[in-house]
Chains A and B, each alone.
Chain A
Amino acid sequence: MLIIIFVSSIPKSNAASVTYSVALNKGTETLIVSQYDEVGWEDNFDNGLEPDDWFGGDSDEIGAKRKITIRNFENYKWNSFEVLALIFGIYESIPASKFVYFLSIVNKDTITEKYPDKYKVWESWFVKWEFESEEFDEEPDDEELLIPIFKDPKDLKEILDLYNTWAVDMNSTLLMLQIEPFPILSGDEFLWKLVLDGMLVLAQPFDLYLEEIIDELDCEEVKVRKNSLIFVKEDFTVEVIYSPQGTQVGFVVYDTDEKVIYEIVQDNTSAVFLISLGVIGSILGGILVIYIRIHAKKRKRE
């Protein structure tokens, strides 16, 4: 009895928090539009939405490819200005005629003074070619694409709160300037935006990382399945597949009958080529070794 009382009085220690690590490898990933059922898509999305509204370029053509090269990644601390500008794209929707004025009131100094928090990230530097049905141009479409991988998934909730607070603060000023106000985002909407913009890169272990993100953002429409995110929307379901490096390599849209109406998968042509070359090289190397040994044995006999 005394032992039970003693044990129950010991305070429960918190479960050890997971340590996440980045899994990126430098190199290039190519994605290809493998399936697009135009009729099925139009039946499902009667609001005129098309795949290129989500992904840009020629993403509404089967066989169109997109390429991303991972250049490097390093430890960094992002400030509020970088979060708002690079993740939420607060400058992108401002019309050119009002941009200078907007910049005078919304800039690094004004934002970091009001919102001084910093967020620990692995800052990864990408080069991107948009979806292209013909051969890729030599020059990329975006040479300096910065994507942060948050070391603590809880920070995603913090930056969403930061954005919503800033938007509420800013919208009255924007309305006076006759600029469209910034939308207030829910957790589901924020995660969907990150996925569509390609700004969600995962840290290992991926399933725990995704679970923690969904918990923190209070997502109701999203669930995790191994290394995939499943978005269950009203008219469609989307499965977003992540590679062993944590980058987005697959995007599958299902209609209400669970039929695939749009699919983007990873293009493995280069990997297949290198593996084939390796196999052929090994076979030739083996033949050469055998030939040299037979030749050496013949010489010995002579």
Chain B
Amino acid sequence: MKNKLLSLIRNEKFYDYYAIVKPVFTTYMFELKKQRIKFFAFSLVGIAFLFLLNYLPYLLIPENPLPVTQIEFFEIFIGLSTLLIIFGCCFFFAPIICNEFGKKTGYITFPIINKYKLIIGKYLGALTLMTGVLFIFYFSLAILGIYYYGLPVNIRYLYSFGICLLHMLAVSALITFFSSFMKNVNITIVTTLLLLLIGIGIVDTLIILYYRDFEPIYSLAHNRKLVSYIMEKDFPTTREERYEKIEARGFTWYNWYTPSIEMAITIFLTYTGVCLALASIIFSRRQL
């Protein structure tokens, strides 16, 4: 066994791969340790949300009716994951690039460790922690679902988790993109929070008002509706089933329930690819 390992290490090709992966792995582990307090904090916040909004109201108010089925129960409370993703991603991913420039530590580290490997390691570390936060949230909600409705947990709940992870990936890439050109962490956090919570909503509303039957497929706010809607038993298969036409005071607009599954996945992956590509281009050209 020892001889096998030695021969493997002496193998030049293996050593090349090892030389590439080790700095990324070291940075990844360092990032996990560095951000562990945020991980515990957001995990506790997620569990607290569920306890305060999902358990106590049913326990303390006998008249407050439980939803009819387990899936309806999940659909009502899965929206909390959106807030967790927005705030969590802002705090985990905002410091990834701009921290190095803000604290002027980049010029010390980069000659020893390749700057791209550093950022990849940090990004993967933050991604792992954020995935952990979402896993704990979904797991806790599933436990509550079993407590109220018994086994088994509907398989569409797992689909929702998958879409939630894709949503998180897209948001994390967007925030990393902002981090690549912003000066410091606080400005990055505030800007991205305002954009994700308010900015996107305003843009969507204006576009829907001007182009009434246009589906805002570009919008993260529209695509994240799939996280809860994918749990519907009869998921709408045609475009006409995915919106509701509302007429009031001589004005007509379309209320979109959900994007299609294929479109949402494509948009999330596109956001991820484009934002990370732009972030790496800006980062590579950024001067200290």
B66 touches A277 (CB 8 A): no
A contacts with B, residue count (CB < 8 A): 24
A274 lies within 8 A of B143 (CB): yes
Given A138-B154, A138-B233: A27 and B147 interface contact (C-beta under 8 Å)? yes
Q: Is the interface of A mostly helix, strand, loop or mixed?
A: strand
Is B18 close to A, CB under 8 A? no
CA distance A70 to B146 in the complex (A): 14
Distance between Cα atoms of A22 and B69 in the complex (Å): 23
Q: Please name all residues of chain A whose beta carbon is closer than 8 Å to the beta carbon of B143 when the two chains form the complex.
A: 274, 277
B151 contacts chain A at the CB level, 8 A cutoff: yes
B147 pairs with A71, CB closer than 8 A: no
- Cross-chain contact A127 with B233 (CB below 8 angstroms): no
**A257 to nearest B CB, angstroms?**
36
Query: Which chain B residues lie closer than 8 Å to A71 at the CB level?
Result: 65-66, 68
In the assembly, what is the distance between CA of A182 and CA of B149, in Å? 38
- Taking a contact as CB atoms under 8 Å apart, the answer to whether A140 and B151 are in contact is no
A270–B66 contact, CB under 8 A? Answer: no
Residues B68 and A72 in contact, CB atoms below 8 Å apart: no
Is A180 on the interface with B (CB-CB < 8 A)?
no
> Shortest Cβ distance from B97 into chain A, in angstroms?
31
* Contact A143/B68 with A30-B150, A74-B63 known, Cβ cut-off 8 Å: yes
Asked if A26 meets B66 with Cβ closer than 8 Å, knowing A269-B151, A270-B151, the reply is yes
Residue of B nearest to A270 (CB): B150
Expressed in whole angstroms, the minimum distance between the Cβ of A19 and any Cβ of chain B is: 17
Interface residue? B148 (CB, 8 A): yes
Q: Mark B57-71, 1 if CB is under 8 A from A, else 0.
A: 011001111101101
A261–B86 alpha-carbon span in the complex (Å): 59
**Complex: how many Å from CA A70 to CA B62?**
10
Identity of the chain B residue whose Cβ is nearest the Cβ of A65 in the assembled complex: B150
Question: Number of contacting residues on B, CB 8 A?
Answer: 19
Which residues of the other chain, B, contact A70 by a CB distance below 8 angstroms? 66
Interface contacts (Cβ under 8 Å), in number, total 56
Q: Compute how far the CA of A72 lies from the CA of B62 in the bound complex, rounded to whole angstroms.
A: 6
- Report Cα–Cα, A170/B212, bound state, in Å: 60
Residue of B nearest to A129 (CB): B69
CA–CA, A269 and B64, complex, Å: 27
In the bound complex, residues from chain A placing their C-beta under 8 Å from that of B149 are: 27-28, 69
Chain B binding surface SS class:
loop
- Chain A neighbourhood of B58, CB < 8 A: 26
For window 135-169 of chain B, which residues contact chain A by CB distance below 8 Å? 143, 146-151, 154
A67 at the interface (CB under 8 A from B): yes
The residue in B64, B143, B150 that gathers the most chain A C-beta atoms within 10 A of its C-beta is B150
Selected contact of B146 from candidates A22, A125, A143, A273, CB within 8 Å: A273
A261-295 vs B: 1/0 string, CB under 8 Å? 00000000110011001000000000000000000
Contacts of A269 in B (CB 8 A): 150-151
Query: In the assembled complex, which residues on chain A have CB atoms less than 8 Å from the CB atom of B154?
Result: 138
A41 on the B face (CB < 8 A) = no
**Nearest residue, chain A, Cβ from B148:** A27
Contact A138 B71 (CB under 8 A): yes
Please indicate the chain A residues that have their CB under 8 angstroms from the CB of B64 in the complex. Answer: 72
Q: Are B147 and A127 in contact (CB under 8 A)?
A: no
Q: How far is the CA of A140 from the CA of B69 in the complex (A)?
A: 8
- A residues in contact with B59, CB < 8 Å: 26
Known contacts A73-B62, A138-B154; is A274 also within 8 Å of B146 by CB? yes
Q: How far is the CB of A21 from chain B (nearest CB, A)?
A: 11
Query: A132-153: which residues lie under 8 A (CB-CB) from chain B?
Result: 138-140, 143
Cross-chain contact A72 with B69 (CB below 8 angstroms): no
Q: How far is the CA of A138 from the CA of B154 in the complex (A)?
A: 9
**Which residues of A sit under 8 angstroms from B233, Cβ to Cβ?**
138-139
The residue of chain A having its C-beta at the shortest distance from the C-beta of B67 within the complex is: A71
Give Cα distance in the complex from A138 to B71, angstroms.
8
Task: Name the residue on A nearest B146 (C-beta).
Answer: A270
Known: A73-B62, A74-B63, A274-B143. A127 touches B148 (CB 8 A): no
Contacts A26-B58, A71-B66, A72-B64 given: A274-B71 contact, CB under 8 Å? no
Answer whether A273 and B151 are a contact pair too, CB < 8 Å, given A71-B68, A138-B233, A140-B69: yes
Do A69 and B151 touch across chains, with their CB atoms under 8 A apart? no
Known: A24-B62, A26-B59; 11 extra A-B contacts, CB below 8 A, are A26-B66, A27-B66, A67-B150, A72-B62, A72-B64, A125-B65, A127-B69, A138-B69, A139-B69, A139-B233, A274-B143
Q: 11 A-B Cβ contacts within 8 A?
A: A22-B62, A26-B58, A26-B66, A71-B68, A72-B66, A138-B69, A140-B68, A140-B69, A270-B151, A274-B143, A277-B143
3 closest A-B pairs by CB: A72-B65, A270-B150, A71-B65
Q: A residues touching B (Cβ–Cβ < 8 Å)?
A: 22, 24, 26-28, 30, 67, 69-74, 125, 127, 138-140, 143, 269-270, 273-274, 277
